[in-house]
Structure 1
């Protein structure tokens, strides 16, 4: 399909290959979806959460015993 427009405007050509949205058989099958528990089990995230948790714990103990 070709749309002719005014001078200076680009024309658009759409081919059947561009409209094909079917998945090819070469796509790897998904074994199982990975959810929130998989993300929480990653070491960098666990280290980050441990640091944040220890900072919150230290702030809470400071408020309880020193103020």
Structure 2
């Protein structure tokens, strides 16, 4: 037995949703976000060391076990 909601039809969904407001213009004096942080040498060195350790562990598991 179908559930009766009292409505005769589904709600009208043809109305387009409201667009979000435009973001404010970027101020060049403000510091950059995460992509700028990836260009920093200490972070890249750390990520390189972690990547090499993962590569060594993977090669060890794949070929030496």
TM norm structure 2: 0.54
Q: Which has the higher contact order (CA 8 A, sep 6+)?
A: 1
Q: Give the CA deviation at 1:64.
A: 0.2
Superposed CA RMSD: 1.8
The structure carrying a bigger helix percent of its residues is 1
Unaligned regions of 5+ residues in structure 2, if any?
A: 1-26
Match of 1:52 in 2: 50
SS at match of 2:29: coil
**Pairs aligned (count):** 39
CA distance in 2, matches of 1:65, 1:54: 16
Q: Which has the higher strand share?
A: 1
Structure 1 stretches lacking a partner, 5+ long: 1-28
